[in-house]
């Protein structure tokens, strides 16, 4: 099958200023769609009716958030890839390249092919990069990725791309409707690597998603999250906020004909915890983290958090 070349990674090299100062994990670790969709074999979790949560800047019933998020991504699914390029001037590709290269998925000498779960995998951006990394850097066509998402419309776009780019038909990738909070089709201790890219901020109960990530990973398995985060220094953040709140919804209207969904996306970024707060949530779920637990990209516009499931509790 035709694996996409890793030219992207090479292309990223001259653009190092967008990438973090440290691309390597320090060596020392500190402790601590709707169910009816045909792609689905899962049930979403049922939050209590009485709780409230945020949906962007609005307060909604906890039980309603997943459906609202589902509607946002069903609405943007067809234009999602082009909008990512437009909104970020292509920089999301560099972040994703760096994210995957830093994880270096694939069979290592003397090791086995990896089982990878890409949660909130959407249209497959991370899954495809992981397969490319395994094939092009490790000559590994046996490592496989499950691209799991709550939204069947996003996954269908991913499947179309997988066929168009030669990843399907094969056993290397599969698409499953799954709620990150439960991952009920994924057995305990079954995954070598769990990734979630620009997905966790949309999850209603992030602590449950982290619990599930911990459950499905093998001892020694790696949790890795790429997500928007807090920008510093403050003057740069002021510019970024201006761009986010005035330009992005307008672009959403012009390119995708959908202002409201992009308004939600920028509000959801603002509501996501700080880098340190989320690192603490990762540790609270039981993962070991290195140093402060995250790496900032492009002045903190996005960050990568990593954790390792310990061999023993
Ligand atoms: C911004 S997209 C990211 C897609 C892809 N990972 C990427 O980096 O391009 C966010 C994705 O999260 C998914 N999502 C939201 N809530 C989810 C949940 N509870 N469980 C699984 N996926 C979820 C959405 O359906 C959407 O596909």
Determine the distance separating the centroid of ligand 1 and the alpha carbon of 73, expressed in angstroms.
Answer: 8
Determine the distance separating the centroid of ligand 1 and the alpha carbon of 113, expressed in angstroms.
Answer: 26
Binding site: what residues are annotated? 123, 149, 179-180, 197
Alpha-carbon gap, residue 204 to 273, rounded angstroms: 13
Ligand 1 pocket mutation, candidates 92, 121, 149, criterion most atoms within 8 A of CB: 149
Q: Which residue has the tokens 């490592």?
A: 143
Spatial contact of 136 and 210, defined as CB atoms under 8 Å apart: no
Ligand 1 pocket mutation, candidates 122, 213, 225, criterion most atoms within 8 A of CB: 122
Per-residue pLDDT tens digits for 115-153 = 999 999 999 999 999 999 999 999 999 999 999 999 999
Q: Which of 3, 30, 257, 43 is nearest to 141 (CA)?
A: 3
What residue segments make up the domains of the chain, in order of their start? Answer: 41-308
Q: Can you read off the two tokens belonging to residue 106?
A: 């694939």
pTM of the model: 0.86
| pLDDT of residue 4 exceeding 90 | no
Per-residue pLDDT tens digits for 181-210 = 999 999 999 999 999 999 999 999 999 999
Per-residue pLDDT tens digits for 61-86 = 998 899 989 988 998 898 888 989 98
Nearest CA to ligand 1 atom 1: 198
- Mean pLDDT to the nearest integer, 250-278: 93
Percent of the chain as helix, strand, coil, to the nearest 5: 45, 20, 35
Nearest CA to ligand 1 atom 25: 151
Determine the distance separating the centroid of ligand 1 and the alpha carbon of 151, expressed in angstroms.
Answer: 8
- Architecture of the domain defined by 41-308: 3-Layer(aba) Sandwich (3.40)
């Amino acid at each position: 099958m035709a694996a996409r070349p890793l030219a992207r990674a090479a292309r990223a090299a001259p653009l190092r200023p967008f990438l973090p100062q440290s691309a390597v994990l320090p060596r020392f670790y500190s402790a601590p769609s709707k169910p009816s969709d045909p792609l689905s074999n899962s049930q979403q979790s049922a939050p209590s009716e009485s709780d409230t949560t945020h949906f962007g800047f609005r307060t909604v019933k906890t039980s309603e958030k997943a459906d609202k998020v589902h509607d946002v991504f069903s609405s943007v699914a067809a234009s999602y890839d082009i909008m990512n390029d437009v909104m970020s001037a292509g920089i999301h590709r560099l972040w994703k390249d760096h994210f995957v290269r830093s994880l270096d998925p694939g069979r290592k000498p003397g090791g086995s092919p990896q089982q990878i779960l890409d949660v909130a995998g959407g249209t497959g951006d991370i899954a495809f990069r992981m397969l490319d990394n395994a094939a092009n850097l490790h000559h590994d066509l046996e490592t496989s990725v499950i691209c799991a998402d709550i939204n069947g419309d996003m996954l269908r776009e991913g499947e179309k791309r997988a066929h168009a780019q030669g990843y399907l038909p094969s056993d290397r990738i599969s698409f499953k409707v799954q709620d990150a909070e439960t991952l009920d089709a994924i057995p305990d201790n079954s995954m070598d690597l769990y990734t979630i890219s620009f997905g966790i901020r949309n999850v209603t109960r992030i602590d449950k998603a982290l619990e599930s990530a911990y459950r499905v990973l093998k001892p020694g398995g790696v949790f890795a999250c790429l997500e928007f985060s807090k920008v510093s220094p403050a003057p740069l953040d002021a510019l970024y906020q201006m761009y986010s709140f005035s330009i992005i919804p307008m672009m959403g209207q012009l390119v995708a004909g959908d202002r409201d969904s992009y308004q939600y996306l920028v509000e959801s970024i603002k509501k996501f915890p700080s880098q340190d707060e989320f690192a603490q949530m990762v540790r609270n779920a039981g993962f070991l983290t290195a140093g402060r637990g995250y790496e900032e990209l492009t002045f903190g516009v996005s960050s990568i958090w990593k954790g390792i499931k310990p061999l023993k509790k």
